[in-house]
Structure 1
Amino acid sequence: MDGHATDDDGLTEAVQESGAVELLLIRHGESEGNVAATEAHLAGAEVIDVPARDADVNLSGVGREQATALGNALARIAEEFRPDAVVSSPYARALQTAQTAVDAAGWSVKVQVDERLRDRELGILDRLTRLGVETRYPEEAERRSWLGKLYYRPPGGESWADVALRIRSVLDELNNLGTGHRVMLVCHDAVIMLFRYVIEGMSEQELLDLAAGTSILNASITKYVRPASEGPWKLESFNVADHLAEQGVAVTEHGGDANVRPR
């Protein structure tokens, strides 16, 4: 995509000189995969008819509108409080959201890429609905139910705990830098949930309670602050999408499997 750096260590490059006092976590706009997954669920299908591999799935028409509306909202931030580092998951839907939002906001900052922000990898369960998993891989469905969302790792894929390790690596960079940096990360719903898990020191039960009752809205904003640039982060706002409704853009909710607790 035009306008972003293509190096693999975007976060390191973007913030190597100073630490973070503010962290914005943005979920990508609605994707064609989100729409296809909802349609498959409603139709009782086993397979989600996505047009491309997960990394290449684009924003839907609504998702592009959401990304623009997000940028319009970000444009209201006073210049001295704007993020000076914008780092995205390399997946197309996140990159498209990040670049569209930055362009709409009129910011000159480059969108960097960091593969640690990518979505959870599903391995052999990729493209399958819950019904598809239960029908085609009943032993995996049973194992997932037994272990719960945090620790279940599908063959060839990742558990949420695996994703949390990536997030700890990202936060370590922010926690061991200087002062004054503001960072915006554009990523995925599970990644944002797990940022909360890591930052707030949640227990497994607290994380799964949150995940069972909350869907991260497309193009929503979650904000953490720590004015002293060190020590614990404070959650200032979570999963806010008012900027979409204010601009007449659809607020969409495409969550994952709500059956997250171990049996």
Structure 2
Amino acid sequence: MRTDDESAWGQGVFEAPCAHPENSGAVELLYAVRHGQSTANAAYAANTFIEADDSTIGLTDLGERQAAATGRWFAARDSDQLPDLVLCSPYLRAVQTSQLLEQELRAAGRDLPCHHIDQRLYDRHRGRLSTLSPIVVRERYPEESAKEARDPLGYRPPDGESFRDVADRLRGVVADLAADQRHRRVLIVAHDAVVLFLRQLLENLTEAEISAISEDGLAGNASITSWERHAGGYRLLAYDQRTHLSQI
């Protein structure tokens, strides 16, 4: 159980050194949680936008409640299902989600995981189109909207990155998970694009399969996606699970 005090929290970036021994086994259970609703998500839903550095966008009141509800879901798990490591995006909304999740674990008297900010888990960088909704992009930058429609996975916004770029940086994360001999259950707290392309890499999905999943809907705020290890890699247990959010 982690014994550091709360002074490591609250500044947007946190680390909890790992005390788990080597050779404790491979990662058997993997969770991915999308951050709770952010101020940009709320603006996006209203077809407006906010002027802000994407990395500094925080949670709304609803997002905080969503993150707490996710923490209570984990706090209710059996010990052999609790994460012993959290890998978190460096973006503020993901860090805040992790903070609130851990508060619920602490309140329930559960063992706390070690934590690591992984710089590879940031949201897809949309460059000059960051925080703009599709409607706003179509109105202001119709040529960029047309380029994206022609190649959704390969399109790079001005000064931004494509979805294929996201998948490329996540390959290192997946390789590190495969080599991890300290942790059995890992929780990743990040973004919808990260969850989607973790699915591609962990489940060996084609781009056509990933596109179909995306068209059906990306992982919602504070949703839980989970996989378990099996002989061929990882098997999906649940995607975009939101039942824990029904009563907030």
Under a length normalisation based on structure 1, what TM-score does the superposition of the two structures give? 0.81
Q: Residue 72 of structure 1 aligns with which residue?
A: 72
Task: State the SS of the aligned residue for 1:215.
Answer: coil
- Cα deviation, residue 127, structure 1: 2.9
Cα distance between partner residues in 2 of 1:198 and 1:16:
27
Unpaired segments of 5 or more residues in structure 2? 1-5
Does residue 37 in structure 1 map to residue 40 in structure 2?
no
Specify which of 112, 118, 122 is matched with residue 108 of structure 1.
Answer: 112
Residue aligning to 2:162:
159
Q: Could you tell me which residue of structure 2 aligns to residue 192 of structure 1?
A: 195
Q: List per-residue Cα deviations over 1:16-64 (Å, max 9, x = no partner).
A: 935311110001111111001111x2xxx5xx125x3111111100111
Matched to 1:102, the amino acid is E
Asked if residue 241 in structure 1 is aligned to residue 242 in structure 2, the reply is yes
CA pair 31-21 structure 1, distance change in 2 beyond 3 A: same
2:184 aligned with 1:181, yes or no? Answer: yes
Cα separation, partners in 2 of 1:168 and 1:16, compared to 1, 3 Å: farther
CA distance in 2 between partners of 1:205 and 1:89 (Å) = 27
Contact 2:222 2:242 in 1 (8 A): yes
SS at match of 1:162: helix
Dislocated runs of 4+, deviation >6 Å: 10-16
Structure 2 residue 150 is the aligned partner of structure 1 residue 146: yes
- CA-atom RMSD in angstroms: 2.7
Query: What letter matches 1:101 in structure 2?
Result: L
Q: Which runs of 5+ in 1 are unaligned?
A: 250-263
The superposition leaves residues 95-130 of structure 1 with CA deviations (integer Å, 9 ceiling, x where unpaired) of 000111011112432432111111000012123232
Equivalent residue for 1:96?
Answer: 96
Secondary structure at the aligned position of 2:233 is classed as coil
* Percent of aligned pairs sharing the same letter: 34
What does the per-residue CA deviation read over 1:183-225, in whole Å, with 9 as the maximum and x for residues that have no partner?
Answer: 0000001110111111112222111111011231211111111
Per-residue Cα deviation, 1:58-91 (whole angstroms, up to 9, x for no partner): 1100111111111111111222332110111011
- Rate the CA distance shift 1:16–1:164 in 2: closer, same or farther, 3 A: farther
> How far, CA to CA, are the matches of 1:62 and 1:73 in structure 2?
17
Q: Deviations over 1:223-247 (max 9, x none)?
A: 11116xx6410111111111121xx
Amino acid at match of 1:152: Y
Indicate whether 1:202 and 2:205 are aligned: yes
Q: CA 1:16–1:202 in 2, change beyond 3 Å: closer, same or farther? A: farther
